[in-house]
Amino acid sequence: MSSQNEPKPVGPEYKSAAEKPTATISTKLSHPNVTILPQTPQLIALLTMIRDKKTQRADFIFYSNRIIRLLVEEGLNHLPTVEQAITTPVGRSYAGVKFEGKICGVSIMRAGEAMEQGLRDCCRSVRIGKILIQRDEETAKPKLFYDKLPTDIADRWVLLLDPMLATGGSALMAVDVLKGKGVPEEHILFLNLIASPEGAGNFAKLCPKVRVVTAFVDQGLDEKNYIVPGLGDFGDRYYTT
């Protein structure tokens, strides 16, 4: 374990560093297009809930949804805005901004579908497409099985949704599919809960213009390409009753 995975004091300033609880916070990545959510006590507590193997499905869904909401809110900060001057009900002007351009979500099935509601909660009537990529049993490589995307996707900013960035194989293929439909790489934002350093590094190297927003970069991958310490199989924990 590298020293950056050692638990560190976390929490507000009313406790001294010596009194604060310690927790493992995200590995740092130097790629400019990878944004890691601030490692606040709130986020660490939410991640602790969903990582715990004893957490029951209803709580797993509830706490995952809270993290997804944080990811979507941060992701929206990476979309372009233009100036918007308005007048308030008391007759004063306010120099604000509004979002520029159209967006859509694209979930990588099935786990990415768990992130759709979080996007809908923030962006009313948002269009959502889907991509199904699975491991080809013959080649052991990711294979595209299905996609259903908005016909005007080339004119939209795309929020690509997949909770776990392990090797990055599915996400890289999804980006290829989107680019094949005319979406510029720089119009893709990839939201995910937990990334492996090797997956995030490889993805950022091969898709340097895609912005990645993640809640946490973990220690690594095990021999089955599960993220460690991770949270197990996200789709199984979210969907299996």
Q: Which residues bind ligand URA (CB under 6 A)?
A: 111, 164, 166, 226-227, 230, 233-235
Q: Distance (Å, rounded) from C-alpha 94 to C-alpha 85? A: 6
Q: Which is nearer to ligand URA, 126 or 132 (CB)?
A: 132
Is 135 tagged catalytic? yes
**Neighbour count for residue 239 (Cβ, 10 Å):** 14
Work out how close the CB of 95 gets to ligand URA at its nearest, in angstroms, rounded to a whole number.
44
CA 197-36-106 angle, to 5 degrees, is 85
- Write down the catalytic residue from 52, 152, 176, 236: 236
Which residue lies nearer to ligand URA by CB, 155 or 233? 233
Q: How far is the CB of 64 from ligand URA (least distance, A)?
A: 11
- Of residues 48, 57, 59, 135, which has the active-site annotation? 135
For residues 103 and 196, which CB has a smaller minimum distance to ligand URA in the complex? 196
Distance (Å, rounded) from C-alpha 25 to C-alpha 7? Answer: 7
Those residues whose C-beta lies under 8 Å from the C-beta of residue 176, and which sit 6 or more positions away, are: none
Instruction: Output the smallest distance, CB 200 to ligand URA, in A.
Output: 13
Least distance between ligand URA and beta carbon 219 (Å): 11
Rounded to 5°, angle at Cα 221 from 216 and 224: 135
In a 3-state reduction of DSSP, which class is residue 53?
coil
Give the span between the Cα atoms of 28 and 36, in whole angstroms.
Answer: 8
Active site residue 236: yes
Catalytic residue (one of 139, 151, 240, 241) = 139
Residue 55 or 123 with smaller CB distance to ligand URA: 55
